């Protein structure tokens, strides 16, 4: 796989500019085109009511949304033009997860932002999760605190031999190949030690076939939250990109991520590349 086009989700969040900067950095690295997607949040007409005051409030909110959209568009245009990156900009209406997922299908990678619980303008976690699971494309999630320009130079791969993990590794190959440090971690119960080690060793041989050298790490009989363990190992190893499968389920007709994935996306400090 090559990264030649990137679908970038733009919203009204405080972290939006940091996400754009990360996307521009990645696009420049791979000579990729950036396709920005802005989806305005719906106006809550029912909540505002039908009075004159409500109509004025609705008009005011609409103007604020337009101003936010213009601000996002300008920042994006300025950033890509300064970097000499090819780009397009699309403002789409409708169901946000579905429109974002569809836009991603015309690109090699979907870049989205981590939900910031302290920012009311941040796109909701459920919207981002649903789009990621529907897209059929790898998703690169950028922390709301931002990231360094060289993200992806030190990669940690979470490997459990699942379909999702295999998909994520394949999709992340352009980044893995150019990394200066690659670590692979396998997690399992005490009874699964031999299986975990066997899978890690076979995976190491797979990477060697691509001229990629890695360090293997096994975590056996882990107590506590696996997501928290992964966050700890990211810090210990100095990784600046996590590659892992996105494991989802579908309660109440909503596509949502599972527990480990959700923990990582809630508390992430480095970008995470996920595939489903």
Q: Which two tokens stand for residue 226?
A: 């696996």
pLDDT, tens digit, for every residue of 104-143?
999 999 999 999 999 988 898 889 999 999 999 999 999 9
- Exposure of 229 in the CB half-sphere (CA atoms within 13 A): 17
Contact call for residues 89 and 36 (beta carbons, < 8 A): yes
Dist CA 195 CA 200 (whole Å):
9
- What's the angle, vertex CA 264, arms to CA 259 and CA 267, rounded to 5? 120
Dist CA 139 CA 177 (whole Å):
18
Q: Which residues of the chain carry a pLDDT beneath 50?
A: 251-255
Q: In which residue are the tokens 């690169």 written?
A: 140
Dist CA 165 CA 103 (whole Å):
23
Per-residue model confidence (pLDDT) at position 254: 44
Contact call for residues 154 and 241 (beta carbons, < 8 A): yes
Per-residue model confidence (pLDDT) at position 252: 40
Dist CA 53 CA 25 (whole Å):
45
Contact call for residues 270 and 239 (beta carbons, < 8 A): yes
- pTM tops 0.85: yes
Per-residue model confidence (pLDDT) at position 253: 39
**Beta-ladder partners of 245:** 275
Dist CA 199 CA 195 (whole Å):
6
Dist CA 265 CA 2 (whole Å):
25
Q: In the chain, what are the domains?
A: 5-142 (3.40.50.620), 154-275 (3.40.50.620)
Instruction: Classify residue 167 by burial, with Cβ atoms within 10 Å: 0-12, 13-18, 19+.
Output: middle
Beta strands 256-257; 248-249: pairing state: antiparallel
Dist CA 163 CA 155 (whole Å):
20
**Beta-ladder partners of 154:** 181
Dist CA 199 CA 212 (whole Å):
17
């Amino acid at each position: 796989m090559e990264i030649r086009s990137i679908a970038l989700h733009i919203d009204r969040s405080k972290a939006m500019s940091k996400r754009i900067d990360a996307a521009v950095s990645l696009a420049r690295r791979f000579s990729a085109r950036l396709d920005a997607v802005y989806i305005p949040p719906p106006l809550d007409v029912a909540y505002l009511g039908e009075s004159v005051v409500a109509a004025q409030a609705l008009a005011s909110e609409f103007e604020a949304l337009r101003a936010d959209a213009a601000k996002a568009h300008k920042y994006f245009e300025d950033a890509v033009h300064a970097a000499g990156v090819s780009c397009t900009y699309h403002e789409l209406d409708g169901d946000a997860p579905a429109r974002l997922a569809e836009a991603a299908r015309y690109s090699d990678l979907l870049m989205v932002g981590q939900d910031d619980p302290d920012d009311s303008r941040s796109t909701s976690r459920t919207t981002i999760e649903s789009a990621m699971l529907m897209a059929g494309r790898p998703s690169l999630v950028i922390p709301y605190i931002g990231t360094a320009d060289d993200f992806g130079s030190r990669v940690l791969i979470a490997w459990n031999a699942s379909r999702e993990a295999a998909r994520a590794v394949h999709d992340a190959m352009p980044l893995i190949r150019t990394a200066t440090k690659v670590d692979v971690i396998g997690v399992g119960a005490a009874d699964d030690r031999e299986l975990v080690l066997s899978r890690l060793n076979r995976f190491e041989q797979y990477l060697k076939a691509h001229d990629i050298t890695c360090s293997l790490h096994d975590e056996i009989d882990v107590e506590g939250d696996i997501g928290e363990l992964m966050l700890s190992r990211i810090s210990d190893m100095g990784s600046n990109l996590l590659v892992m499968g996105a494991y989802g389920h579908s309660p109440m007709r909503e596509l949502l991520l599972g527990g480990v994935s959700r923990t990582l996306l809630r508390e992430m400090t480095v970008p995470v590349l996920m595939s489903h």
